[in-house]
Amino acid sequence: MAGIRAVSLLKQRALNAVAWALHHFGVLYLWRRFRPYNGVKVLAYHSIQKAAFTRRLLGTGMGPDQFAAQIRFLAKNYHIISIDHALAVATGETPCPANAVALSFDDGYLDTAEQAAPLLREHSLSAAVFTATGCIDGRCGMWTDDLVYWIDHTAEQRVSITMSSGEVRQFSLAGCARGAAVFQLREWLKRLPARERLDALVQISGQLGAKGLTARAEMPFMSPSDVRQLAESGWIVGSHSDTHPILTSLEPEELERELTASRELITAWTGSPPVHFAYPNGGDGDVDDAVIAALINAGFRAGWMFVRGRVVAGSDPYRLPRVGLFDMPLHRFALEMSGMLEVFTTRREPPRRSSPRR
Ligand SMILES: [Zn+2]
């Protein structure tokens, strides 16, 4: 396992070095100019100010300076359009400009309103925010953030969860396994039915001495009034469900409640019903025909995933791709955006997840 990680790290370093050379010697500039890509790349950001506990434990996290550099680069070199425009490209209602990019932010963290929006405004840009409405009105938090927060704040070396079936799952938090354990535990918890997950989280917080501790103070969410102000300033407000479950794990009634509750709240906050929906987690296995039928039934016209790809004429409006390009040097971001890698690495297989996500 450690060997595989070392090879992967070496590959990333080599790619970063190649990206540095291509960016600084003007090759990417020429590529953008003479070989523009077709379709729309839709970027999905989350918090742009990853809290210290996340950086400490996971060793990743985009900062505001990195975000500002990416936006400056995009504003200068790409054609930034809205997700409404991207949807119209998918349905064939409008042509697509070359090198088109659309920006979106998931979950509804406060830094989207307080840092991202002012920065975009400086460049006369706006974006879309997909809000988990229960986080916005304070009925729930993001358990994925809480889990990282708890593990960062504990000295415990192990966590052990007893399932309703009697099965016991153990996760080591010792030494350098700590960061990896977070990913493992988080992905495992995501797939549990809601009640089982809640029960597991209660056990975990109890064992880690974290009862009542929440990441919310360090990673706060917007309020309904922040959402309204974003909408008034031209941002598109979409739904990201109410409590952020993986929709394919829900019973039909729960699924309907997640969609209608979030839709009604956003309508009340912004004055108009949301058109766009971003699937929580958003991978290939997190969307199915039943989820799409429920989205259509609830009145949404677009469903956004978290998989690699570009929106082109004829893209399925309920399986639209978005990609996350976080925490990378600007030259690597420039290479990823250019489309050059896709030309040399195109594989004949379905779209893949771009990275772990919330
Ligand atoms: Zn999310």
- Domains of the chain by start residue, with CATH: 38-140+220-324 (3.20.20.370), 143-216 (no CATH)
In this structure, are strands 100-107 and 128-131 parallel, antiparallel, or unpaired?
parallel
User: How confident is the model at residue 155, as a pLDDT?
Assistant: 84
Q: Label residue 69 by pLDDT band (50, 70, 90).
A: very high
How far away, in angstroms, is 115 Cα from ligand 1 center?
Answer: 19
How far away, in angstroms, is 63 Cα from ligand 1 center?
Answer: 18
Question: How big is the CA angle at 266 (ends 311 and 324), to the nearest 5 degrees?
Answer: 35
Task: State the alpha helices, DSSP H only, in the chain.
Answer: 2-24, 27-34, 52-58, 64-77, 83-90, 110-111, 117-122, 133-136, 143-152, 177-190, 194-207, 224-232, 252-270, 289-298, 330-338, 340-345
User: How confident is the model at residue 195, as a pLDDT?
Assistant: 85
Token duo for residue 284 = 């290939």
Rounded mean pLDDT, 63-74 = 93
How far away, in angstroms, is 45 Cα from ligand 1 center?
Answer: 10
Task: Among 4-8, 275-279, 338-342, name the most confident range.
Answer: 275-279
Residue with tokens 């460049």: 123
How far away, in angstroms, is 177 Cα from ligand 1 center?
Answer: 25
User: How confident is the model at residue 87, as a pLDDT?
Assistant: 98
Q: In the chain, what percentage of residues exceed pLDDT 90?
A: 63
Q: What are phi and psi of 303, to 5 degrees?
A: -125, 125
How far away, in angstroms, is 358 Cα from ligand 1 center?
Answer: 4
How far away, in angstroms, is 44 Cα from ligand 1 center?
Answer: 10
Average pLDDT, rounded, for the chain:
90
User: How confident is the model at residue 54, as a pLDDT?
Assistant: 77
How far away, in angstroms, is 18 Cα from ligand 1 center?
Answer: 32
How far away, in angstroms, is 247 Cα from ligand 1 center?
Answer: 12
Hey, what amino acid is at 341?
L
How far away, in angstroms, is 55 Cα from ligand 1 center?
Answer: 18
Rounded mean pLDDT, 162-166 = 90
Q: Is the pLDDT of residue 100 over 80?
A: yes
Q: What is the pLDDT of residues 216-255, one digit of tens each?
A: 888 899 999 999 999 999 999 999 999 999 999 899 999 9
How far away, in angstroms, is 203 Cα from ligand 1 center?
Answer: 24
Rounded mean pLDDT, 63-83 = 95
Q: What is the pLDDT of residues 80-93, one digit of tens each?
A: 999 999 999 999 99
Q: Is the pLDDT of residue 201 over 60?
A: yes
Kindly list the protein residues that place their beta carbon closer than 5 angstroms to ligand 1, a single-atom ion. 106-107, 358
| Strand, helix or coil for residue 37 | coil
Contact assessment for residue 107 and residue 130, using Cβ atoms and an 8 Å cutoff: yes
Q: Label residue 107 by pLDDT band (50, 70, 90).
A: very high
How far away, in angstroms, is 342 Cα from ligand 1 center?
Answer: 26
Q: Label residue 162 by pLDDT band (50, 70, 90).
A: very high
Token duo for residue 58 = 């996971």
How far away, in angstroms, is 166 Cα from ligand 1 center?
Answer: 31
Q: Is the pLDDT of residue 348 over 60?
A: no
Q: Label residue 12 by pLDDT band (50, 70, 90).
A: confident
How far away, in angstroms, is 244 Cα from ligand 1 center?
Answer: 6
User: How confident is the model at residue 335, as a pLDDT?
Assistant: 95
User: How confident is the model at residue 134, as a pLDDT?
Assistant: 96
For residue 72, the tally of other CB atoms under 10 A from its CB is: 14
User: How confident is the model at residue 267, as a pLDDT?
Assistant: 98
User: How confident is the model at residue 2, as a pLDDT?
Assistant: 55
Q: Label residue 346 by pLDDT band (50, 70, 90).
A: low
Q: Is the pLDDT of residue 354 over 50?
A: no
How far away, in angstroms, is 132 Cα from ligand 1 center?
Answer: 7
| Strand, helix or coil for residue 259 | helix
User: How confident is the model at residue 220, as a pLDDT?
Assistant: 92
How far away, in angstroms, is 36 Cα from ligand 1 center?
Answer: 30
How far away, in angstroms, is 259 Cα from ligand 1 center?
Answer: 14
Q: Label residue 6 by pLDDT band (50, 70, 90).
A: low
How far away, in angstroms, is 147 Cα from ligand 1 center?
Answer: 15
